[in-house]
Structure 1
Amino acid sequence: MANEHMESLYSALDQAATLLHKQVKTSFVEAATEAGEDLQTGMINHQDGVPDADATAKLEALFAPLDLSTFSAEECRQALQLLLVKAITIDGVEPNKQVTPDAMAELATFIATVFITPQKETVKVADLAVGSGNLLFAAMNQLAAALKVKVQGIGVDNDDTLLAFAGMSSALQQLDVALYHQDALGPLVVQDADLVVSDLPVGYYPLDDRAKQFETAAPKGHSYAHHLLIEQSLRALKPGGLGLFFVPSSVFQSDEAKSLTAWLTRSVHFQGLLNLPQNLFADSKAQKSLLILQNPGPKTHQVKQVLLGAFPALTDQAAFRQFIASVHDWAKQNLA
């Protein structure tokens, strides 16, 4: 790791989580959450005499040299991301709940800055499949830096273990975030968000009666959860709000996509679809794209030329500079 300061935080949290994992005998994700909470509060949490006195002394020794005020929000997030990657490996977490790579957050943030011109001092960002919070928090940190505004976050997920990790992570980063433990396809508290950014889980949604409340539902059988979540996310956006969704690159190629396509055509502005670099995915079948949608609003319109193409590899700096320039040219011609 190039950032030795961030590495010191990760190392302490990693050792603490490993110790708690053995002592408390929970999943590594839960042990990592407890380690972060202990560091943030400055107190070692005990239940039924666990961790024991020896482990408590070791935990206090690990945390004593750390001064959280010296770590930026991004350093905290990056350290926790590394910890979460390890936790996912140890716990065998399913693919839909794994960490969204930083590169994807950076690409989404870049596109957001092309569309969003802040009209107020605060921008509200939501993720209805927030999981551990890594994508949402990365986007919040990067948008705050790029747009020079305050950023509020809203996250929804039905996985209480990952949501607890997200809560700990947002506390360590001192982010303004509200997290809700619920089925994101139920009635939402979230409304009037400026931006939704989400790495959507792929698969079928089991509650057919609830799915029927959405125009993107399949005419028969189970509906795709990611189709429903796209529609639900647009409901959470204010007029003119922007939705950025990481979806399978084949999202419009299945038979089930007919209802999604019909809904997009009549209800929202379909502004772009950009394939992600292939080197982000071990299997080409798992490749994703960034779907760019916008709620109709008084200052928005359907672009004449939809933004299509592919992000170049981030390692190809010349190609990426050219790509950024081409997107800015597209914006001048289509968003003005």
Structure 2
Amino acid sequence: MANEHMESLYQALDQATSLLHKQVKTTYLEAATEAGEDLQSGTINVQDGVPDQATVEKLTALFKPVDLTTFSAEECRQALQLVLVKAIQIDGIEPNKQVTPDAMAELATFIASVFLKPVPKQLTVADLAVGTGNLLFAVMNQLKTALGAEVKGVGVDNDETLLAFAGMSSQLQHQDVDLLHEDALGPLATRNADLIVSDLPVGYYPLDERAKQFATAAKKGHSYAHHLLIEQSLRALKAGGLGLFFVPSTVFQSEEAAGLTAWLTSSAHFQGLLNLPQSLFAKASAQKSLLVLQKPGQGTKQAKQVLLGSFPELTDRDAFSQFIDSVHSWAAQNLA
């Protein structure tokens, strides 16, 4: 690893998680959450004699040299991301709940910086499928650096285990964020987000009666959860707000695409669709794209030419530089 300082934090968390995983008999992800909480509190949580005294002493020795005040929020997030990758492998976490690659957060941050002008002093960023919080926190950290703005987060998820990890992670990073354990397709958690960024879970939403409240609901059978979440996210944005959604690259080729397209045409500015590199995904069928939507508001308009293209490999510096220039040129012609 290039960042030896960050690696020292990862090693402490990783070793502590492994010890707790063996002792507490929980999932690796739950053990990681407990390890992070123990590190922050400065005490090892013992319940009914577990972990045993020998393990408590090992954990105490692991955490003793770790000075959390020396780590940036981004270093903490990166260390926890490495722990998450291991948890995914050990626990066999399903694809919809896996870690969003940093390259996707970087693309979202870049596109957000293009649209968020003039730069706001305060910014609320939300994710209605927040999971472990890795994408939301990465974007929050990057926006603070890129824009110099004060950033507040809102995250919603119905998975208590993932949200517990997100809560621990947010505290370790000192994030100003509200995390809500609820169905994101229920009553809205927020209505004033400046930006929504979400790596949407793909699949069917089981509550057909609730789905009927959305224009993107299927006419018969179960509705696509990612379609409903896009519509719900637009509701959560303030007028003129920006929605950045990682969706299947085939999102407009499915059987339900007509309903999604009809809703988009009437309710949002469809500003862009950018394909992500295939190298980010295990197989071609899992490839995603970034859907860029804007909620109509004062000073917003539908771009005459929708931003279409492919995000280049980060290792191809020339192509990456050309991509950045092309997006800035597009913005000058279509957003000014």
Q: Secondary structure at the match of 1:50?
A: coil
Structure 1 unaligned spans of 5+? none
| Whole-angstrom CA distance in 2 between matches of 1:83 and 1:303 | 41
Counterpart of 1:193? 193
Letter of the structure 2 residue corresponding to residue 181 of structure 1: H
Counterpart of 1:259? 259
Counterpart of 1:95? 95
| Whole-angstrom CA distance in 2 between matches of 1:189 and 1:252 | 28
Report the CA distance between 1:189 and its aligned residue: 2.0
Counterpart of 1:248? 248
Report the CA distance between 1:122 and its aligned residue: 1.2
The Cα RMSD (Å) is 0.7
Q: Deviations over 1:185-208 (max 9, x none)?
A: 000221210000000000000000
| Whole-angstrom CA distance in 2 between matches of 1:121 and 1:322 | 30
Q: Deviations over 1:102-147 (max 9, x none)?
A: 0100011100000012564210000000000000000000000000
| Whole-angstrom CA distance in 2 between matches of 1:300 and 1:43 | 51
Alignment of 1:197-236 (within 5 A): 197-236=197-236
Q: Secondary structure at the match of 1:218?
A: coil
Q: Secondary structure at the match of 1:213?
A: coil
Q: Deviations over 1:44-65 (max 9, x none)?
A: 1111111111100100000000
User: What is the TM-score with the length of structure 1 in the denominator?
Assistant: 0.99
Structure 2 unaligned spans of 5+? none
Alignment of 1:65-214 (within 5 A): 65-118=65-118, 120-214=120-214
Q: Secondary structure at the match of 1:100?
A: coil
| Whole-angstrom CA distance in 1 between matches of 2:133 and 2:119 | 26
User: What is the TM-score with the length of structure 2 in the denominator?
Assistant: 0.99
Q: Secondary structure at the match of 2:290?
A: strand
Letter of the structure 1 residue corresponding to residue 20 of structure 2: L
Counterpart of 2:26? 26
| Whole-angstrom CA distance in 1 between matches of 2:283 and 2:255 | 23
Cα contact 1:73–1:141 (8 A) shared by 2: yes
| Whole-angstrom CA distance in 2 between matches of 1:47 and 1:118 | 52
Counterpart of 1:306? 306
Q: Secondary structure at the match of 2:18?
A: helix
Q: Give aligned pairs, total.
A: 336
Q: Deviations over 1:206-232 (max 9, x none)?
A: 000000000000111100000000000
Cα contact 2:119–2:147 (8 A) shared by 1: no
Q: Deviations over 1:125-177 (max 9, x none)?
A: 00000000000000000000000011000000000000000000000000101
Counterpart of 1:52? 52
Report the CA distance between 1:332 and its aligned residue: 0.4
* Most deviating of 224-233 and 42-51: 42-51
Percent identity over the alignment is 76
Cα contact 1:118–1:147 (8 A) shared by 2: no
Counterpart of 1:6? 6
Cα contact 2:119–2:149 (8 A) shared by 1: no
Cα contact 1:20–1:51 (8 A) shared by 2: yes
Q: Secondary structure at the match of 2:135?
A: helix
Counterpart of 1:324? 324
Counterpart of 1:285? 285
Q: Secondary structure at the match of 2:144?
A: helix
